[in-house]
Structure 1
């Protein structure tokens, strides 16, 4: 049985005022339409809700039950309306966010804090994934927003560069070059290298190979992994050396040293999201990220 919220509001006013004239004035109505509305409500329910006399109005037992439930129904209706409006405005909902590990040292924690402050009723579901897997997850609609190392993306995926930084060498702290502040990449030609797997980040893999070839050698790749912190962790255990984004120097990982070397390549971070999405929440999140990294770029200059 559908009860119009309008009729319930009219009934509540009469129940609380116990007088049709006062209830009508409260509702900014004349008394006849109000009396008709209450009779319509009683007819719909098939029960008498009010005992009427010339001097006052009293609730029947059914009227007392309806009064209690009508208040709850209207509160729920208002809450649902507010919820839907906030979702439509992008203020409520759920964001599925992917990230590569190095983004933890490229401003992502501060961005997430800003998002929580701006969108306190939004649930953030975070997943660490390599760049390739994130691109595919966004393409398939399994992820709303991603933070990756620059990678080729299909037409369904929108990309935006966020920041760029140089690469550095990552070596064990026991390495003969560990005390140097700057080295030539060629000095590591006899070392074993630890790299991202080609299928996990094709662009990074090719960039490192290109840097080594330009320096005059082909690296011996002993280990391939799928996460940045795994690269640094294997280096810290003395299992090889690597070329990583400069931000990893802020990881504080024991057993590693980060050393500058001469090169022109840059590690570029990107934000990705579904190109055709019409989600107000996603638009707001993208805008917050653009503002956050735009301000950070200005600060670094």
Structure 2
């Protein structure tokens, strides 16, 4: 049973006249008659009664008509939806993200997607950088927003945001009123850092900043999320060096101060599998890049 045969059947059932149905289908009458006979043969059922007074549906034909219309509508809808997905106008995208993405334009980009592509669903998965790479490799997510990491073979990566690290202190800290803080001033402080197992690059960068200032940081806590870092600092458990975007978190009890001198950059990067290509990945990346482009550029230069 072919879609074409069902289409011919529905038109003939509506017209109950072979000539009018053929004209409506833009075909001659013989191909229509052949298609109907083939359909009846396939179903082993007579669909129309034909006599000198005209054409009318049989009981079997009336039963098929509703189902045929439903099949044709679902076929049409499937074609429309498939084209929309292929063009990035519909479908779903599984997005992995680190917490700092929420202060680097992700909510604004998602809102743009919602307004421009209401048929698109973005499923969010908060994962640390290491877990995102594993999820990309296993196909559990389609796009990851993570701290700087070298993409493994078969992955593509793009820098989304680069900004300076700043000092994060309890609001009552002795250095909280300084305009800029040399990293060396933190030598005697207890340091709260991202876990090395979760984000080895962030751990290495911050530790190297301290070592270049002449000391090894005294690690008080190693945590998995930046908001945990901020919460512990606000509770007076230590100090930290964090990406500048975290000042936008608005958490009480904290003081953020620029670091004196050159510092490495904190980089948020996107990573994805280029093959097979996912049509929604470049669309969301464009929105993220557009939002990031409106942010104040980092003034620090990459460390060499």
Q: How does the TM-score come out when normalised to structure 1?
A: 0.91
Partner of 1:249: 247
Shift of 1:291: 4.7
Say which SS state the counterpart of residue 173 (structure 2) adopts: coil
Partner of 1:188: 186
The within-5 A match list for 1:168-183 is: 168-183=166-181
1:84-143 per-residue CA deviation (whole Å, 9 max, x = no partner) reads 222333333321111111111111111112222343222211111222222232233222
- Taking a change above 3 Å as real, the CA distance of residues 184 and 36 of structure 1, as seen in their structure-2 partners, is closer
The within-5 A match list for 1:127-276 is: 127-264=125-262, 265-276=264-275
Mapped pair 1:38 → 2:41: no
Shift of 1:262: 0.9
Kept in 2, the 8 Å contact 1:195–1:221? The answer is yes
Say which SS state the counterpart of residue 183 (structure 1) adopts: coil
- Taking a change above 3 Å as real, the CA distance of residues 153 and 44 of structure 1, as seen in their structure-2 partners, is closer
1:137-169 per-residue CA deviation (whole Å, 9 max, x = no partner) reads 223322211111212232222111122111111
- Structure 2: gaps spanning 5 or more residues: 300-304
Say which SS state the counterpart of residue 161 (structure 1) adopts: strand
Kept in 2, the 8 Å contact 1:144–1:274? The answer is yes
Q: Distance in 2 between matches of 1:140 and 1:40?
A: 47
Kept in 2, the 8 Å contact 1:149–1:270? The answer is yes
Q: Distance in 2 between matches of 1:38 and 1:261?
A: 81
Which among 113, 116, 126 is matched to residue 115 of structure 1? 113
- Taking a change above 3 Å as real, the CA distance of residues 199 and 299 of structure 1, as seen in their structure-2 partners, is closer
Shift of 1:258: 0.6
Two-structure CA RMSD over aligned residues (Å): 2.2
The within-5 A match list for 1:50-65 is: 50-65=48-63
1:162-215 per-residue CA deviation (whole Å, 9 max, x = no partner) reads 221111111111212223332222222221110011121122112111221222
Kept in 2, the 8 Å contact 1:129–1:227? The answer is no
- Structure 1: gaps spanning 5 or more residues: none
Say which SS state the counterpart of residue 198 (structure 2) adopts: coil
Kept in 1, the 8 Å contact 2:169–2:238? The answer is yes
Kept in 2, the 8 Å contact 1:194–1:241? The answer is yes
Q: Distance in 1 between matches of 2:5 and 2:274?
A: 45
Between stretches 142-151 and 182-191, larger displacement belongs to: 182-191
Kept in 2, the 8 Å contact 1:135–1:157? The answer is no
How many residues of Structure 1 are paired with residues of Structure 2 in the alignment?
298
- Taking a change above 3 Å as real, the CA distance of residues 49 and 20 of structure 1, as seen in their structure-2 partners, is same
Q: Distance in 1 between matches of 2:78 and 2:134?
A: 35
Q: Distance in 2 between matches of 1:125 and 1:187?
A: 43
- Taking a change above 3 Å as real, the CA distance of residues 116 and 233 of structure 1, as seen in their structure-2 partners, is same
Shift of 1:297: 6.3
Say which SS state the counterpart of residue 16 (structure 1) adopts: helix
Kept in 2, the 8 Å contact 1:192–1:219? The answer is yes
